[in-house]
Amino acid sequence: MRDLRAGHGLTSRSVAAQLGWSPSTLSRLENGLRGISAEDVAALLVVYKVTGPERERLLSLAREVDRPGWWETGLPGLPSQLPALIGFESQARRIVDVSMLLVPGLLQTADYARAVMVDGGVAAHEVEARVVTRLGRQTVLSRSDPPELHVLLDEAVIRRPVSSADVMASQLRQLIAAGRRPSITVQVIPFGVGAHLGVHGSYVAFDFDKAPSIVHLEHLRSSLFVDEPADVRPFLQAADTLAGQALDPIRSAEFLTSAADGYERR
C-alpha cells in the first residue's frame, strides 16, 4: 500500500483526507501496526486507481491476512500484540536485539523459555502454549532467506541463573551454535564496559526493505511499537554504539564457552 501511494506521488495526509481517516491511521496501516481489512484495502485501491487482476490479487491477500495464523488459534493467554511481533519478525530484513535481562526469545531453548515463564508468573495452563509459540517463532531463522539477526547480550544475561546449571549450559551452547550461522551475530557486552546505553532497557529494532525501521519495547504487562523516525533513531544509534563496545563475535563465543563450561562444572 505504501508503494502504491508513493508511486502516485501522494502524501499520507492527502490520502487520509480523501478517505476521512486520520494520517496516523494510514501510517499505522502501512507500517503493519494496525490490522488491515479487505474493506480498507478496497478503499485505498479506489484512491490509487487500481483495477482488474491486480485489485483482485491485493484483495485476496487482505482476506488471507484476516484468517487466524498458527500463533492465534487455540493458544490461550498469548499477548495481544504477539501476532504483530511475529509478522515483523517474518518481514524484517534485519533484527537487532539489545537484551539486558534474558536471552532473546528467538534464541531460547525450550527449557530456558519454560523456566522464564514459570518464574515470571505465567499461569501453569498457559506455559506450554507459550513455549510452543516461542519455538515456532524461531523457524524464521531457518528459512532459505532468513533475516539478519544481531544480538547484543549483556553479561548479566549470562551470569543470571535461569532454572538449573544444566539448563543454562545448554542455553549458552545454543547461543554459541547460533553465532556460527552466517545470518546471526552474537556479541557479549561485558561488565567492564560499565553503565552503557543498554542499561536503560532492552529493545528490539526491525529494519525492512521497503518500510521505515521500528522498535519493540516490552514490559511486565504491556508492550509497544515505536515507529516515528525521530523516536526510532536514538535506539538504532545506541545499538551501533553498543556493538562497538561489545566483544567481537569471536571473543564473545569464547566468553560464552567459558561460561557454559563453568555451569557444567557445578
DSSP letters for 167-189:
HHHHHHHHHHHHHTSTTEEEEEE
Number of domain units in the chain: 2
Percentage of residues of the chain with pLDDT beyond 90: 45
Q: Dihedral through CA 167, CA 135, CA 114, CA 119, nearest 10?
A: 110
Judge if 12 and 89 occupy the same domain: no
Domain co-membership, 52 together with 90:
no
Give the HSE-up count for residue 107: Cα atoms under 13 Å, Cβ half-sphere.
31
Residue 129 maps to a domain:
no
Residue 130 maps to a domain: no
- Please give the pLDDT value at position 71: 41
Residues 231 and 145 in one domain: yes
Please choose, from the candidates 233, 227, 181, the residue with its C-alpha nearest in 3D space to the C-alpha of residue 88.
Answer: 227
- The tens digit of pLDDT for each residue in 234-250 reads 999 999 999 999 999 99
Q: Is the residue at 181 inside a domain?
A: yes
Examine the pLDDT at 86 and tell me if it is beyond 90: no
Residue 21: give the domain boundaries: 2-65
Say whether pLDDT at 75 is over 50: no
Is 115 a domain residue? no
Report the distance separating Cα 59 and Cα 64, nearest Å: 9
Residues 261 and 170 in one domain: yes
Percentage of residues in the chain having pLDDT higher than 70: 89
- Whether the per-residue pLDDT at 72 is higher than 80: the answer is no
Whether 201 is covered by a domain: the verdict is: yes
